[in-house]
A and B are shown apart, each in its own frame.
Chain A
């Protein structure tokens, strides 16, 4: 059974700091890995998707990396802003047709202080 772990569960940083969120998974046979942002009262917003054949993806101030062999992914946020405050979830996908489409971690709650 695939298990996804995110450490730390909560993180507080001053504005402007660069930071890294961690995600680890137990089964390296993944199809892709997705990073989401969750704001209170709102749904999940997809930030980045890394396919299993890729090592990283970038979008603006966000960079996600994937190391399948070690079962790890990181989300790097550059020059953090208070608007980045949210819960960040990672999820790994098995190939379409599998019973468990996405397995989620429990998230890292990020607070960026002004």
Chain B
């Protein structure tokens, strides 16, 4: 079984709808991240969480919110989706050691019409 899972894998929605993307991990890591990837570009950090009570904005947090329900679960919400939020979304985890190697989920492809 995959260490980092994301649901759904694909989602098509309409402008103005509220969307939640979910991420679960079995690696036992404290740190979790949400990134988005636009075609032909690298990944950009949306939000990150160092533990259940520590949530921080990344580079491009506007229009997004997150919830860290447990050590293993980190959800990303789009309160009112807009077409330029169409992208590939990745969840990642890392431990609290000095190496800070990140491990990624399979991604969620979101299309906002």
A residues adjacent to B (C-beta < 8 A): 4, 9, 31-32, 34, 36, 41-46, 49, 51, 89, 91, 93, 96, 99-107
Contact = CB atoms under 8 A, between A and B. Distances in A.
Contacts of A49: 99, 101
Contacts of A32: 99-101
B106 A101 contact: no
B45 interface: yes
B103 interface: yes
Contacts of B59: 99-100
Given A93-B100, A96-B100, A101-B48, A42 B107 contact: yes
Contacts of A101: 33, 45, 48, 58, 94, 100, 102
Interface of B: 4, 31, 33, 40-45, 48, 56-59, 90, 92, 94, 96, 99-107
Contact of B4 (A9, A43, A96, A104): A43
A75 to B, nearest CB: 15
Which of B42, B58, B94, B103 has the most CB atoms of chain A within a 10 A radius of its CB?
A: B42
B40 A106 contact: yes
Lowest 5 A-B CB distances belong to which pairs? Answer: A104-B42, A44-B104, A43-B106, A43-B104, A104-B43
A101 B48 CA distance: 9
Contacts of B45: 99-102
B42 A91 contact: yes
Contact of B58 (A42, A46, A100): A100
A49 B31 CA distance: 18
Contacts of A103: 42
A103 B45 CA distance: 8
A67 to B, nearest CB: 20
28 contacts: A9-B40, A31-B100, A41-B107, A42-B106, A43-B90, A43-B107, A44-B90, A46-B101, A46-B102, A46-B104, A49-B99, A89-B42, A91-B42, A93-B100, A96-B31, A96-B100, A99-B58, A100-B45, A101-B48, A101-B58, A101-B94, A101-B100, A103-B42, A104-B42, A104-B43, A104-B44, A106-B41, A107-B42
